[in-house]
Structure formats: C-alpha cells, structure tokens
C-alpha cells in the first residue's frame, strides 16, 4: 500500500486525530471524498429512474445518508447513499401506488433497522460463508462493470478516445504521481478538454435535471393508517433487510481491505436513523455503496470518517451551487473510473484455475450460484440469500455422513458395544439409525456416546427409535458417556416425542 508521506502511520493506526494533525493525510482524505462524490452522481441519478423519483431528490437523500452515517456509522470510510438495490424494491410500490407512499415505507424500514441494530442481530452476519462473500464481491464487480457499458459501447469515436484517455490517466498516473488521486485528475482533465475544444458528448446533465437549490422537507401525503400499512409493510421489510445485508457485507469487505474492525451493531441502527432522516429530507432510502466505497478506500486510500464527510459536503455543493458545472462532466469519464473499480472489486484469485482445482466443489458451486442469481436478477440480497441456503444444504448433507459407529462384541458373545463418533443432529439422525445390527446383536447392547453430543430433539427421537427397535428383538439398551448437557437434554425429551 502506498503512503502519502514517508512517515505516514500504518493504515490501521490512522484516526481522525492523526489525519487532522497531518496536512498530507488530510489532503488525501479530502481528495478521496471529492472523487467519491463525483463517482456517486451517475449511479444515484440512474437509481432514481429505477425508483421512479426525481434525481434531485435522490441526490439530496444521498447527502443526508452520507453525512449521517459518517458521524453515527460503525464503519469509517464506508460510503452510504441512495442505492440501486433499495431502488429496485421501492420501484414496484411507486409504480403501483405512487411516490407518496415512499416516506411511510422508508420510515417503517428505518425503524426495523434500528430495532435490528439495538437487538444485536447484526451478529448473524458471521453465518454468511466465505464462498457467499466471494460470490457477492464478484457479482458486484460484474454488475458495476456492465452498468457502465452503455456509456461507452455504441457511442461515437470521440467518446472512445476520451474513454482511452481516462483509463490511461487512472492506471498510469499513480506510477508517477501518488499525492493526487488519479481519478480526480482524469475527471478534471477530460472535462476541461471537452469544454475547451467544444466537444459535445453525453454528460451528467443528460441523465436528469440539475436545477440548483435544495428541496424542502418531505411531508406525509397519505394517512398513516392500517390501509397505508398494508401497502407499505412488504416494501419496508425489503428496504430494511436489503439495506442491512448490503451495508454489513460491505462493512466486512472494508474490514478485510483495511485490516481494521467495525461496529456492525452501530452501523445497523445508524443506517435506520439515516434512512428516516433521508426520508423526511429527500424521500428515498439507501445503504452502503460498494463501488463508491472501493473508490474511497482503494483508489483514494481513505481510512477515516473525514473522507465521507468531505464526500457529503462536496456532493451538497455540487447539487446546489455547482450543479451546472457538475452537469458538464462527460459520462464516459465516470464510466471509465467505475469500470476500473469493477475490475478491482472482483476477487481474481478465487477464479484462478489453480484455486478452483483446490477448492471443494461445494464451495465453488455456492460461489457460482451466488454470482449467477445476483447478476441474473440484479438483486444482491436475493443472490446472497440463495447462496446461504445452498451453503446450508450442502453443509448439512456433508456433516450428516460423518457419524461413525464402531461395533465390538464381548469375548463371550453375550454383549455388544457401539462407540459412536460425530455430531448428533437432525441431519445425522437417520444415518445413526442405520449403523446398528438389530437382528443379529445379543440381548445386551451398550451405546457409548463419549465422542458424540446430542444437539436437537431429532437425535433424542433417533435414540428412542433405536432403543425401541432393540426392545422388539428382546434386547436391552444402555446409553453411556453423555456429557451433562446432552444427558439433561435427553432425560427431558426421551419418551415424550411421540
């Protein structure tokens, strides 16, 4: 990782205080925020079209979210704004019932997120397997890349020239100059060339109206009654859980990139607060933006809240006083930068033939399905959900066959001992039942569970069934070796499971 100065602190030692004491670090954080703000514009505008709302509203909501999460959030340097995944779940409700239902849906979604965070349910993120995380990251890279293609493919030769110039600056400038972020240089240079030479290429202003000034507070236009609740609650749940999933997954990704921890619980309730505020002053919800976050922490090398505060302030200035200048930025410049981000987002190591050859087929299948579902539907939350379900099924299938029962007959042939090894749970219960030789065993049977533990009622029911089967053959069964927890669990349920 490059350093802005020779004696700059390590990435995991950088704090807001150390940044404020170092002009070089402060400059780096602020410039990263500028790039991030510019990278937010085209995506936020395009997402507003999906949601069916005014682009200006989405931009203002992004300012509110970015600043709120910069202060309250649990993951420094992570960018939160009006996001495409949330727009996807809001869009159908807007088209069916109208924009006036966005505010109650966002408020209810924000309340759910606050409850989720305060209850500490963010700990459930630890159950998302690494293969699903890899699929999430790789799918994100694909979605970000192909979302930019229309701004380049099928455009004029001039657009392709500006595209090539942007790539050259972004990729080659860091080899010469590291103190200034290359994406910012690319935006300034290419926009300046287009304006000075009078080139007419598609720009940000073509994506939506760029009027100056700020909208007023959003007022509730529908009565907050049972009928309204029936309309908005499915969308509110989707807003809450899609936003939480993307934010917490992105936070985990930034944790890995920066080798620093984050407060997932704090991030969860702070996202709810941010969405409620954005609802009242903007009217649309959001979550973490992984592409812009990668711009901030990878291209901009930002590590603190100062970068996202700078991004929020710059975006506010662009939306208000500098909206006409912002409208002149060629879309191809932002598209080229986001394509570089997309390539950096993909975990290429996970796709190398040598890696795929070493990985278990189940892990590769989970990663592939997560990518396919996410790219096919454009829904990150659905892709992750399907990936987790498949991972759970494959794990249960794999662990169900790790039960071993060693049979040992006594010297006189009057007793038989079974030593069971492996976890006893619903997935292994049937497998356990099939390990005994009911018809040929002697009348005294001992089952040693010293190397096994009972985890659920299915296992107790399986032991009861084994004992009943032996009783039908006139044999008695003694179970030994249970630890205190398993013994208490079996004593409480045995004979009462029907």
CB 434 within 8 A of CB 467: no
The pLDDT of residue 3 = 40
The pLDDT of residue 5 = 40
Cα–Cα distance for residue pair 90/49, rounded to 1 Å: 11
The pLDDT of residue 404 = 84
Cα–Cα distance for residue pair 209/12, rounded to 1 Å: 41
pLDDT profile of the chain (498 residues), mean per 10: 43 80 92 88 68 75 94 95 78 83 92 93 78 84 82 86 90 79 82 84 72 69 87 89 86 89 93 93 83 86 94 89 77 83 81 84 89 82 84 78 85 91 79 86 93 87 91 92 88 77
The pLDDT of residue 4 = 40
The pLDDT of residue 72 = 96
Cα–Cα distance for residue pair 478/494, rounded to 1 Å: 13
The pLDDT of residue 443 = 92
Nearest to 284 by CA among 469, 99, 496, 125: 99
The pLDDT of residue 271 = 96
Instruction: Count CA within 13 A, CB hemisphere, residue 402.
Output: 14
Stated length of the chain: 498
């Amino acid at each position: 990782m490059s350093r802005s100065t020779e004696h700059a602190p390590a990435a995991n030692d950088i704090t807001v205080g150390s940044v404020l004491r170092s002009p070089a670090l402060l400059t780096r954080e602020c410039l990263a925020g500028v790039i991030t703000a510019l990278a937010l514009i085209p995506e936020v505008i395009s997402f507003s079209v999906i949601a069916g709302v005014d682009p200006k509203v989405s931009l203002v909501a992004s300012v509110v979210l970015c600043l709120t999460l910069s202060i309250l959030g649990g993951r420094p340097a992570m960018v939160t704004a009006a996001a495409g995944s949330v727009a996807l779940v809001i869009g159908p409700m807007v088209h069916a019932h109208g924009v006036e239902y966005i505010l109650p849906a966002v408020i209810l979604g924000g309340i759910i997120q606050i409850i989720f965070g305060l209850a500490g349910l963010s700990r459930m993120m630890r159950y998302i397997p690494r293969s699903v995380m890899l699929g999430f990251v790789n799918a994100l890279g694909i979605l970000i890349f192909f979302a930019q293609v229309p701004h380049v493919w099928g455009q004029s030769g001039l657009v392709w020239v500006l595209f090539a110039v942007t790539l050259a600056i972004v990729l080659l400038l860091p080899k010469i100059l590291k103190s200034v972020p290359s994406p910012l240089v690319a935006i300034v240079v290419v926009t300046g060339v287009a304006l000075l030479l009078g080139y007419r290429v598609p720009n940000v202003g073509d994506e939506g109206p760029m009027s100056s000034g700020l909208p007023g507070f959003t007022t509730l236009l529908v009565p907050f009654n049972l009928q309204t609740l029936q309309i908005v609650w499915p969308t509110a749940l989707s807003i809450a859980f899609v936003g939480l999933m993307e934010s917490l997954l992105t936070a985990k990704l930034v944790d890995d990139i920066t080798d620093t921890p984050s407060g997932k619980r704090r991030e969860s309730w702070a996202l709810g607060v941010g969405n409620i505020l954005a609802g009242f002053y903007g009217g649309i919800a959001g979550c973490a933006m992984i592409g812009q976050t990668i711009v901030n922490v990878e291209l901009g090398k930002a590590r603190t809240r100062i970068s996202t505060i700078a991004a929020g302030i710059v975006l506010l200035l662009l939306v208000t006083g500098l909206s006409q200048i912002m409208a002149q930025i060629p879309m191809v410049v932002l598209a080229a930068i986001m394509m570089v981000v997309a390539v950096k987002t993909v975990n290429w190591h996970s796709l190398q033939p040598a890696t795929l050859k070493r990985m278990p087929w189940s892990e590769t299948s989970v990663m592939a399905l997560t990518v396919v579902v996410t790219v096919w539907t454009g829904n990150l939350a659905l892709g992750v959900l399907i990936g987790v379900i498949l991972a759970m099924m494959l794990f249960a299938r794999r662990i169900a066959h790790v039960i071993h029962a060693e049979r040992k007959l006594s010297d006189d042939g009057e007793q038989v001992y079974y030593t069971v090894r492996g976890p006893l749970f619903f997935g292994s219960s049937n497998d356990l039942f099939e390990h005994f030789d009911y018809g040929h065993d002697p009348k005294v049977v001992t089952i040693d569970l010293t190397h096994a533990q009972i985890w659920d009622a299915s296992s107790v029911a399986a032991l009861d069934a084994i004992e009943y089967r032996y009783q039908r053959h006139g044999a008695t069964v003694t179970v030994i070796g249970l630890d205190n927890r398993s013994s208490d669990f079996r004593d409480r349920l045995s004979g009462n499971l029907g």
